Amino acid sequence: MNLSRPDRADRLDRLAAEYALGTMPPRARARMARAARGDPQVAGVVHEWEARLSPLAAALPGIAPPPRVWARLAARLGLDGAGAGAMAGAPAAGWWSRLAFWRALTAAGFAAVLALGIALYAARPVAEPPLFAVLAGADGKPALIASAKRDERFLLVKTVGAPPADPGKALELWMLPQGQPPRSLGVLPAGALVRVPLTAPSGVALAEIPALAVSLEPAGGSPTGQPTGPVLYSGRIERMY
């Protein structure tokens, strides 16, 4: 790929932009980095994009790294007195630095999740009405929340209280059609928020399904096509349409 030919200028610019932003897939990213090392023109266009984007990071609230980072750095580079000791006045590592770290990551909690949710919602030109189900255990506490827009071909499943399955076990999600045996939607992948594919848009695939359930199965899912382990959670499908 010769990125320096003039007729490729637009393409180079686009690639450099996505490289600098970071959305480029792994292999393309590695190719681009090589191209930038070998070709000053490519490097120049990448630098231009970095200069455009990096001021955006200015608003990031700073987080003091733990003092051990400097200590390791000084040791690694063999800095003697002058440099190594220069951080002596730095505050000691301790609960507060961990606290700062966690605050930055988690503090604003629900408010931030809500704000992000609203931003995402606002970003949708057309909001298809969703359906959702809160799956609860025998104790009545919510364990999982499943939701989908009517036109989406997947269920989004968020863990709110369910512990992960033990090793060698899996959680399998089932549709519970009226008067018929359960139909599997597959094993829930590990993760706080996962997607479970549907064979059709959810408005169609779940049209005749009043409820969902999760059973405990061997790793890989039920060998029989029907739940074999205990049903841990279940809940009605609610439709906002």
Partner 1 sequence: MAAAPPSDRSARIADLLAQVALGDQRAFAELYRLTSSHLYAVAVRIVREGAAAEEILQEAYVSVWHHAGTYVAARSQPLTWLTSIVRNRCLDQLRRREIDTVTMTRDDDDEPAFDLPSDGPTPVELLLRGAEASAVRDCVDGLDAGPRQAIALAFFQGLSHGELAAQMREPLGTVKSWVRRGLERLKRCLDSAGHAR
CB of 89 to partner 1, least distance (A): 9
What's the closest the beta carbon of residue 7 comes to partner 1, in angstroms? 18
Report d(CA 210, CA 194) in Å as an integer: 22
Pairing of strands 193-197, 183-187: unpaired
Look up residue 104 and give its DSSP letter: H
Sign for the CA dihedral angle at 39, 21, 105, 144 comes to negative
53 vs 240, beta carbon nearer partner 1: 53
The residue within the footprint of partner 1, chosen from 8, 9, 23, 37 (CB under 8 A), is 23
How many Å is the Cα radius of gyration of the chain?
A: 26
Which residues from 184-203 bind partner 1, rule CB under 8 A?
Answer: 189-195, 197
Q: Read off the tokens for 112.
A: 């931030």
Left, alpha or beta for 234 (phi > 0: left; psi -120 to 50: alpha)? beta
Q: Binding segment for partner 1 among 75-83, 168-176, 210-218, 231-239 (CB under 8 A)?
A: 75-83
Tell me which residues in 26-55 interact with partner 1 (CB under 8 A).
Answer: 26-27, 29, 33, 47-55
Task: Tell me which residues in 199-238 interact with partner 1 (CB under 8 A).
Answer: none
Q: What binding mask, one character per residue, do residues 142-181 give for partner 1 by CB under 8 A, x or -? A: -------x--x---x-x-----------------------
Contact in structure between 71 and 78 (CB atoms under 8 Å): no
The tokens for 16 are 């450099």
**Which residue's CB is nearer to partner 1, number 17 or number 211?**
17
Q: With CB under 8 A as the rule, give the number of residues binding partner 1.
A: 80
Under rule CB under 8 A, residue 126 binds partner 1: no
**CA neighbor of 126 nearest in space, from 145, 146, 152, 157:** 152
